[in-house]
Structure 1
Amino acid sequence: MWPTLKRGVAAGAVVGLIYGLFTALVVHPLTASLVEMAHHGAHGHEAGAHSHAVPETTTAVVSTGSGVLWGIFLGGVFGLLYYFLEPAIPGTAAIRPYVLAGAGFLTVSVSPWLVLPPVAPGMEHQLAASTRIWLYAGMMLAGAALSVLAVALYRRIGSDWRRGAAAGLAPVAAAVVFVPLLAPATATAGGLPTDLVVAYRSLVIFGQAGLWVGLATAYRWLGAFSTDRVTLAHETQI
């Protein structure tokens, strides 16, 4: 278990650093612009740019550090889950980390976002915080159930991986399409332009998707690197 956990933590640290830099250099500037627009209007941004130089630098450092910590935590959980669930994860050894990462992304992010999409600064929540927490937790459970269902359907049609993948992804695709249509609005734009809200949400989704893909890739690469080192050491002894 410990080698798997250490590999997950190492992969999470690497990917968390990249995610933290992405947040600090891309997401944070857009967030600051939205906050400025929401509170002071677009015309006051240039005037206050120099006065916010130090706080923005501090925020960038904090964002990067938070990304590393989040990556380490996520990588550790990923490693533990992979250790316990590997026999049940379909696919080859090279594919299984991506399957687990896809299930994690569906559970932690995609499923809750179907009802509670990312809220940009300046938008206004329609639901109380306690209601959002319970709703988010409930949608995470629904996402986990969808992941289990997808794997079960894939295994049921195991003779052809293409048909199995299509069967497994079918309920996921149906949820992504129909749940947002049935869910009530949980936030209002608060006067922000629609294109900025879409851009913010797209960045958040892209960042989280990249985090999970990067975690699976780093985890797989570290596993291959460890295997190569063991093989090389064995051949050297011989």
Structure 2
Amino acid sequence: MLAEYLTRGVKAGAVAGLVFGLFVALVAAPTVAFADELGHDDAVIEAGGTDATGADHADDEGDHTHGEDGDHTHGDDGGQAHAEDGGDTHDAAVSGPVTTVVSIASSALWGVLLGAVIFGAGFYLLEPLLPGAPGSGIKQAVLAGIGFITVSGAPWLVLPPRPPGVEASLAIPTRLWLYGGMMVLGAICGLLALWTFDRLRPAESAGVAARADVDGRVDDDGRDGHGRSLALAAAGALAPFGLLGVAAFLAPTAAIESTLPASLSTGVVGITVFGQLLLWATLAGAHAWLVRRRRGTGRPIDAVNSEADAGRTLDDDPGTGSNRPRSAD
């Protein structure tokens, strides 16, 4: 059973990684390269401006020398510049396709890793706690949201995405500890949210009648016999994420100063955030599609056993263990 979940997660990760790789190669990488080149040019212009007076004075004193040696110097510099420009053009023509292939391949591997860990083993372990009906895609959406918060969202509260050319004010070891610590805290908050929602959500069927009233019914306002409601469960699930805000407030601040125009800097950061959202959304969508396809072509043994046990009560089978069987997802 675990192997089936891992296989499905790897397939979803491969699809998401390919989509993410194409986005990086066609949109993100060219934009970042343009911003990096623009930031480099601005830095050169700024450095040149500080030495403008000295440069003008040197030009004035060098007029006579230029007149005597200008022809020879122009010939040498021109030939060398032409050769260097030709070499750079050739290198760029070769490195362009190679960079694209490497970006797509590395993104695909990253997607496969996330698919195997989060939507393979993670989905297998957390499926009973994930809200939503089997095959609806809600389970995948919730898990993708927790994954995004763990891998990117929580660390970004302390170390936000930086545009090109921005030097970090914190040392590398400090940044690594902060990023890793926020990832762990994000995962803990996600698990606490799932557990809290599972404890507070109302019973939805007679299959979990032990948590509802005698006959397992749920009122029209979404409450069961113990006063539980979906609104209360959702509010309780969001509460653990407040720990991320506390941690971000207590963590050291990383100052960011960019030489890029504000609009371009915001656009580069927005592309980074959108790329991660695209990756996780594609992961969830591909996994949900694979689950529905699996349910349409064949059902796991757990689903068959669940249907066979649906007509029996606790009196018919007093030795029944879990009252929440694993779904076909």
Category of TM-score, reference length = shorter chain: 0.7 to 0.9
| Long gaps (5+) in structure 2 | 46-84, 203-228, 300-329
Measure, in 2, the Cα distance between the counterparts of 1:176 and 1:195: 28
**Distance verdict in 2 for CA 1:187–1:59, change over 3 Å:** farther
> Contact 2:9 / 2:115 at 8 angstroms: preserved in 1?
yes
Equivalent position of 1:222 in the other structure = 290
Which of the pair has more CA radius of gyration?
2
Post-superposition CA distance 1:81-100 (Å, at most 9, x none) = 11122122233223212211
SS where residue 40 of structure 1 aligns? helix
Residue aligning to 1:86: 127
Rounded to whole Å, the distance in 1 between the matches of 2:42 and 2:265 is 16
Task: Choose between structure 1 and 2: higher helix proportion.
Answer: 1
Task: Give the match's secondary structure for 2:159.
Answer: coil
Measured in 1, the distance between the counterparts of 2:43 and 2:176 equals: 32
The match for 1:167 among 236, 260, 280 is: 236
When residues 43 and 57 of structure 1 are mapped into structure 2, their CA distance, relative to the original with a 3 A threshold, is farther
Q: Is the 8 A contact 1:89 1:99 kept in 2?
A: yes
Checking the alignment, whether the CA contact within 8 Å between 2:185 and 2:244 is kept in structure 1 is no
**d(CA) in 1 for partners of 2:275, 2:12:** 16
Residue 236 of structure 1 aligns with which residue? none
CA displacement at 1:186 relative to structure 2: 1.3
Which residue is 1:106 aligned to? 149
Matched residue, 2:162: 119
Q: CA deviation at 1:166?
A: 3.3
**What's the counterpart of residue 64 of structure 2?**
none
When normalised by structure 2's length, the TM-score is 0.63
CA-based RMSD of the aligned residues comes to 2.5
CA distance in 1, matches of 2:115, 2:29: 23
SS at match of 1:188: coil
SS at match of 1:152: helix
Partner secondary structure for residue 158 of structure 2: coil
Q: Does the aligned pair in 2 maintain the 1:123–1:192 contact within 8 Å?
A: no
SS, match of residue 127 in structure 1 = coil
Q: Residues 217 and 22 from structure 1, CA distance in 2 versus in 1: closer, same or farther, beyond 3 angstroms?
A: same
Does 2:116 correspond to 1:76? yes
Equivalence for 2:310:
none
Alpha-carbon contact 1:123-1:187 (below 8 Å) kept: no
Q: Supply the AA of the counterpart residue of 2:236.
A: A
Percent identical residues = 43
Aligned mates of 2:30, 2:281 — CA distance in 1: 24
Q: Give structure 1 stretches of 5+ with no counterpart.
A: 232-238
**Greater shift in the superposed pair: 82-91 or 178-187:** 178-187
Give the letter aligned to residue 101 of structure 1: A
> What is the distance in 2 between the residues matched to 1:220 and 1:72?
16
Q: State the distance in 1 between where 2:268 and 2:111 align.
A: 21
Structure 1 runs of 4+ aligned residues shifted over 4 Å read: 174-184
Distance 1:210 1:107, change over 3 A: same
Instruction: Note the alpha carbon deviations across 1:103-158, whole angstroms, 9 max, x for none.
Output: 11111110000000112210110111111111101101111121123223323431
Contact 1:122 1:189 in 2 (8 A): no
- In 1, the alpha carbon distance for the partners of 2:191 and 2:107 equals 28
- Following superposition, the deviation at residue 171 of structure 1 comes to 4.5
* Secondary structure of 2:103's aligned partner: helix
State the alpha-carbon separation in 2 of the partners of residues 118 and 107 from structure 1.
Answer: 15
Q: Say if 1:26 and 1:37 are closer, same or farther in 2 by CA, change over 3 A.
A: same
Match of 2:49 in 1: none
| 112 and 68 in structure 1: CA distance in 2 versus 1, 3 angstrom threshold | same
